[in-house]
Structure 1
Amino acid sequence: MFTLVGKKAPDFSATAVKGCQFIENFTLSQFEGKKYVVLFFYPMDFTFVCPTELHAFQAKLAEFEKRGVQLIGCSVDSQFSHFAWLSQDRKEGGIKGVEYPIIADFSKVISQNFGVLAGEEDYDEEGNLIFEGNPVAYRGLFLIDKKGIVRHMLVNDLPLGRNVDEVLRMVDALQHYEEYGEVCPANWNDGQEAIKESHDSVANYLAHH
């Protein structure tokens, strides 16, 4: 089973689009020591579920920024496709108003390195390179700490949209653990009681919940 949790997130250098601006040589490593990163993949521009997710992340952008999190989107579309979609009004299916950067993974290398490419390259009987599957990214999401380590990942199949509030909850849980050294139990939300890492404290917590 492929997992990046506990490992260094694969770095990349790619073109990103932020609003109407193209950003060349956009890297993941630029945020190390400065910000947490939530990197999320989506299948394609100009589709159906994808704009609902991108707008949902935008609606919570201030909450991510308040927590020191850099939000980044990524799909296998080109930067020109991203630009066109960002220029299209929401009522027409566009994502105009989305303010966080969106990476162009036109080569599909980033999606492949993060293990979210929905398919793989192979060779036919005659030795010709072929691609089996749908060459787009699954709805993968990666929470990366300030050291560049993946602390949480989630991968949904193409039809299944994500819950942005759950992403924020995971950020809160990671930051609570880092600040207080307490682990976060099931259904924990910021402000609730957490658990010290000992058998006695776990037993005490369970006895009162």
Structure 2
Amino acid sequence: MSTSQARLNLGDKFPDFTAQTTVGPIKFHEWKGDSWAILFSHPADYTPVCTTELSKANSLAPEFEKRGVKMIALSIDKVEDHKGWIKDIGDYAGKPGLSFPIIADEGRELAIKFGMLDPEEKDKTGLALTCRAVFIIGPDHTLKLSMLYPATTGRNFTEILRVIDSLQLTMTNKVATPADWKKGEKCMVVPSVKPEDVSSLFPKGVTVCPMPSGKQYMRFTPDPVNDDTCTKK
């Protein structure tokens, strides 16, 4: 089996694929439709860190749904194994069942195609396990964000929700989000907005943080989600 992995860049069209899942066969683009989606991979079924992650994702399903984001997981085991594992996941979470499908990638074809293999972690046969990849895909099927965690480090789903909030906000408004930003906090006016356009685009006001350079590029404005007078792109 070739382990030459593809590289997906931000803005690339996320490839369509067919797969067997715990809810039956799917064609990814058709399953996703015009929604946002998150695809996240797992090293293997019945592993401790993966169980905590899927339990957490399942408990946060209403938050993803509120943001119009469909979730789908991937693991290298069989559908039958996935279905047995779901019982453990539900028991650990105290919430029976799973609100999203798990893809069966027994041959690691998708893991290779999307660059998900972790060269440091092997299964008992010596084959590379999948890392903890996160792909967030927009309504236009393009890759908006990717994160790669090693198999030994569990993901922070609070951070994943935070970046989804940022992606959705900045896709439709002329703002960027600063370090540690959370939904509802002040945003930053993007550098491409000219000073003469600021007042018309941001009628609720812009605060400029003075810098030693004298350059007025640190421009803050209220979160446009809570400011419906803010002009969209």
User: Which bin holds the TM-score, normalised by the shorter protein?
Assistant: 0.7 to 0.9
Q: Find out whether 1:204 has 2:219 as its counterpart.
A: yes
- Alignment check: 8 A CA contact 2:51 2:89 kept: no
How big is each residue's C-alpha offset from its partner over 1:120-158, in whole Å with a ceiling of 9 and x where there is no partner? xxxxxxxxxxxx964321000011000111111111111
- Alignment check: 8 A CA contact 2:189 2:219 kept: no
For 1:67-106, what aligned pairs fall within 5 Å after superposition?
67-88=67-88, 90-91=90-91, 96-106=96-106
For 1:116-131, what aligned pairs fall within 5 Å after superposition?
116-119=116-119
Number of aligned residue pairs: give it: 189
What corresponds to 1:14 in structure 2?
19
Q: Which runs of 5+ in 2 are unaligned?
A: 1-5, 120-124, 196-207, 209-216, 221-233
Residue identity matched to 2:139:
K
For 1:8-87, what aligned pairs fall within 5 Å after superposition?
8-17=13-22, 22-24=23-25, 26-31=26-31, 34-87=34-87
Q: 1:113 to 1:79 in 2, by over 3 A?
A: same
With normalisation by structure 2, the TM-score equals: 0.73
What corresponds to 1:122 in structure 2?
none
What corresponds to 1:183 in structure 2?
176
Q: Find out whether 1:136 has 2:151 as its counterpart.
A: no
Q: Give the C-alpha shift of residue 9 in structure 1.
A: 1.2
- Alignment check: 8 A CA contact 1:14 1:104 kept: yes
Q: Find out whether 1:169 has 2:162 as its counterpart.
A: yes
Q: 1:77 to 1:182 in 2, by over 3 A?
A: same
Residue identity matched to 1:53:
E
Residue identity matched to 2:110:
I
Which 10-residue stretch deviates more, 181-190 or 157-166?
181-190
Q: Give the C-alpha shift of residue 196 in structure 1.
A: 1.8
Q: Looking at CA atoms only, which structure, 1 or 2, has the larger radius of gyration?
A: 2
Output the CA distance in 2 between the equivalents of 1:94 and 1:4: 37
Q: Give the C-alpha shift of residue 97 in structure 1.
A: 2.2
The runs of at least 4 consecutive aligned structure 1 residues that moved more than 6 Å come to 92-95
Output the CA distance in 2 between the equivalents of 1:189 and 1:134: 40
What corresponds to 1:126 in structure 2?
none
What corresponds to 2:113 in structure 1?
113
Task: State the Cα RMSD in Å.
Answer: 2.6
SS in 2 for 1:80: helix
Q: Give the C-alpha shift of residue 109 in structure 1.
A: 0.9
Output the CA distance in 1 between the equivalents of 2:52 and 2:170: 31
Q: Give the C-alpha shift of residue 106 in structure 1.
A: 1.2
Which 10-residue stretch deviates more, 163-172 or 94-103?
94-103
With normalisation by structure 1, the TM-score equals: 0.81
Using CA pairs below 8 Å that are at least 6 residues apart, which structure has the higher relative contact order? 1
Output the CA distance in 2 between the equivalents of 1:105 and 1:63: 27
SS in 2 for 1:9: coil
Q: Which runs of 5+ in 1 are unaligned?
A: 120-131
